[in-house]
């Protein structure tokens, strides 16, 4: 694991579900969560323009996403892979490039052998941010983590980045960690990032 040492590149680490794409209601639980089928995957309004602005401003883009549905027995790895392919196709069509995609498929209370129990990569662990710092020479002190859960904020703080919490109808007081900023959606988060330059 890396140490978060300073590097040359600024980066924005993005959670996926609830930030880049819409969460969906799981009819079995009634809760909003990540898509369980390819047809349920839909980019959030304004997400493409927001990511493009970051790219034009010179930020490297990274995806850092917890995807426990396979570990929980809710989905197959094949379906999760197909959702990622749809995600990639949308990015390619819009000319948006990510430096890397980091997915954690584990869950501490999972049902699937090999994907259950503790792991080093599930947020709030900063494992993937440190990895990006090592592999892409990212300066974490000049970078951002953007997500819609407390674990995203905690992850960014542990790695030494600035953090933005996407509240999407929640209030900022509902998260345990204190982000550097809050925003209702990714477009507003990008405005905060670019205005801080």
Catalytic residues: 15, 17
Cβ neighbours of residue 34 closer than 8 Å, sequence gap 6 or more: 16, 17, 23, 24, 67, 69
Given CA atoms 184, 54, 106, 119 in this order, what sign does their dihedral have? negative
Given CA atoms 79, 129, 12, 62 in this order, what sign does their dihedral have? negative
Cα(119)–Cα(41) distance, rounded to whole angstroms?
A: 27
The three-class DSSP label of residue 17 is: strand
Burial label, 169 (beta-carbon count in 10 A; 0-12, 13-18, 19+): exposed
């Amino acid at each position: 694991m890396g140490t978060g040492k300073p590097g040359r590149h600024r980066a924005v680490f993005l959670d996926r579900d609830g930030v880049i794409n819409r969460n969906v209601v799981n009819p079995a639980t009634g809760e909003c969560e990540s898509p369980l089928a390819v047809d349920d995957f839909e980019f959030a309004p304004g997400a493409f323009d927001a990511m493009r602005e970051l790219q034009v401003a010179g930020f490297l883009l990274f995806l850092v996403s917890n995807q426990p549905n396979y570990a929980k027995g809710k989905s197959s790895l094949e379906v999760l892979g197909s959702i990622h392919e749809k995600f990639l196709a949308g990015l390619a069509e819009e000319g948006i490039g990510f430096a890397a995609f980091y997915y954690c498929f584990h869950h501490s209370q999972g049902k699937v052998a090999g994907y259950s129990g503790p792991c080093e990569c599930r947020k709030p662990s900063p494992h993937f941010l440190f990895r990006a710092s090592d592999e892409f020479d990212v300066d974490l002190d000049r970078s951002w983590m953007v997500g819609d859960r407390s674990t995203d904020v905690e992850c960014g703080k542990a790695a030494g980045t600035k953090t933005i919490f996407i509240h999407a109808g929640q209030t900022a007081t509902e998260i345990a960690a204190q982000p550097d900023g809050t925003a209702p959606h990714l477009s507003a988060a990008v405005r905060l990032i670019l205005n801080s330059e």
